[in-house]
Amino acid sequence: ELRRLSPKPSVRLWAKLESHNPTGSVKDRVARAMVEDAEERGTISPGQTILEPTSGNTGISLAMICRRRGYPLKVVMPENVTPERTRLLEMYGAEIVYSEGAKGSNGAVEMALEMAERDARYYMPYQYGNQANPLAHYHGTGPEILEELDEVAAFVAGLGTGGTLMGVGRRLKEELGDSVKVVAAEPMQGEPVQGLRSLDDGFIPPIIDLSLLDRKIFVTNRDAIVWTRKLLEEEGIFAGVSSGAIAAIAVRIAGELDEGNVVFVVADDGWKYLSSGIYTKPVDEVAAFVAGLGTGGTLMGVGRRLKEELGDSVKVVAAEPMQGEPVQGLRSLDDGFIPPIIDLSLLDRKIFVTNRDAIVWTRKLLEEEGIFAGVSSGAIAAIAVRIAGELDEGNVVFVVADDGWKYLSSGIYTKPVDEVADLDSTVWW
């Protein structure tokens, strides 16, 4: 039970430590199940070479099983995996074929399928389409959770092959009913997390039944790293980066509940990731976040989330038009109305911006960076650049709130700046 990371005393957070399997990952269950199933069905011959695409863990688990049972193993693996994985595979005697790193595990799958089609001597268990994969969790991992807990409000695992989600999810729903929510942690497209996949990349493993999932929640690469570190620092769990991604979503789900048990999978240990620097290298931080004072929604929502995740070192800054200097989409609180959703205590600074600066910086966004934005974005950019100039280092993030099409008739891109800035306020409101 993870008491430090649980956001509420009434919600209990549990980690299923699959990292304690023989090779340090959940894939030991799957590798054993797939090989035993092939032997029982007679689809593999003694001494036949097993071929399998992997991002690392399944390959290592198969290498252990194959070493014990006398099967040669050839794995297809992205070239950008950590060197620890390569060395473990070599120590177990596996042959490695590298696929293009930029294509991730999808590229490894594509190459392995082509190799298997060309050469019938290979036997490919194909974890992505082999029902022995989810069945290993249906008959093993799921019942183990049920032995420990009488009630489960939510189960969270990563979207990889889908085996853990499908096997455990189905077993929990059969035993406890649909009150159990099965939640998938999915990396955002373009944000690779080792061991997980985005279904938006175009490949859905055949064993995945999306109807079994109650929710898919996206997780960023950064959150995966931050929460991998939190597992170690707060709970003493030395885990891989996919487990950090899963933990991030599990804690989010726990925060949404009033009570109950939330169970998530720690899919592997951290030894294979040491060279990647996830435990040692600085994580990109946000020094300041700048948005406009309009309704306050962006400032309040993003600002609160950044402070919760990164602490008070993040400065939340509001760009506010000077009274009597209307800027489309922004408001001056001095005009007498403060939107009820605005919590001024969340703001570190309010900085005034003139109508003229808003126009000048709207043009600069287009001329210098090719960003065709509305005038409020120019106002926000002016303040963001000012903040950046005050810092010695760090990341300053600001919001481009809308594009410029709606402002063409106002002349902000064509008329002399002073002429536009002197227009009656009806232009802006």
Element (H, E) at 157: strand 154-158
Pick the catalytic residue from 16, 19, 25, 27. 27
Per-block average pLDDT, block size 10, for the chain (429 residues)?
94 97 97 98 96 94 97 95 92 96 88 95 96 98 98 97 98 98 91 84 92 95 91 96 96 96 97 87 82 92 89 89 83 84 93 91 93 93 94 89 86 70 37
Which residues sit opposite 373 in a β-bridge?
403
Element (H, E) at 142: helix 142-148
Fold of 11-23+133-276: Rossmann fold (3.40.50)
Grouping H, G, I as helix, E, B as strand and the rest as coil, residue 99 is strand
What's the distance, Cα to Cα, between the start and end of the chain in Å? 55
Domains of the chain, by residue range, sit at 11-23+133-276, 27-118, 288-427
74 is an active site residue? no
Which architecture, in CATH terms, is 27-118?
A: 3-Layer(aba) Sandwich (3.40)
Q: How many CB atoms lie within 10 A of CB 74?
A: 18
The tally of CA atoms less than 13 A away on the side-chain side of residue 257 is 26
Residue keyed to tokens 């729903």: 173
Can you give the pTM of this predicted structure? Answer: 0.70
Is 364 a catalytic site residue?
Answer: no
Q: What is the pLDDT of residue 250?
A: 98
What does the block give as tokens for 221?
């690469």
Instruction: Assign 360 to helix, strand or coil.
Output: helix
Is there a shared CATH topology between the 27-118 domain and the 288-427 domain?
yes
Which of the four CATH numbers 1.10.10.10, 3.40.50.1100, 3.20.20.240, 2.60.40.3080 does domain 288-427 have?
3.40.50.1100
- What residues does 52 pair with on adjacent strands? 75
pLDDT of residue 225: 92
Model confidence pLDDT, tens digit, residues 308-366: 888 788 899 999 998 777 788 888 887 778 899 999 999 999 999 998 899 999 999 99
pLDDT tens per residue across span 208-221: 999 999 999 999 88
Strands 181-187, 154-158: parallel, antiparallel or unpaired by DSSP?
parallel
pLDDT at 103: 86
How much of the chain is in helix, strand and coil states, percent to nearest 5?
Answer: 45, 15, 35
Active-site pick, 25, 242, 276, 332: 242
Per-residue confidence (pLDDT) for residue 325, from 0 to 100: 79
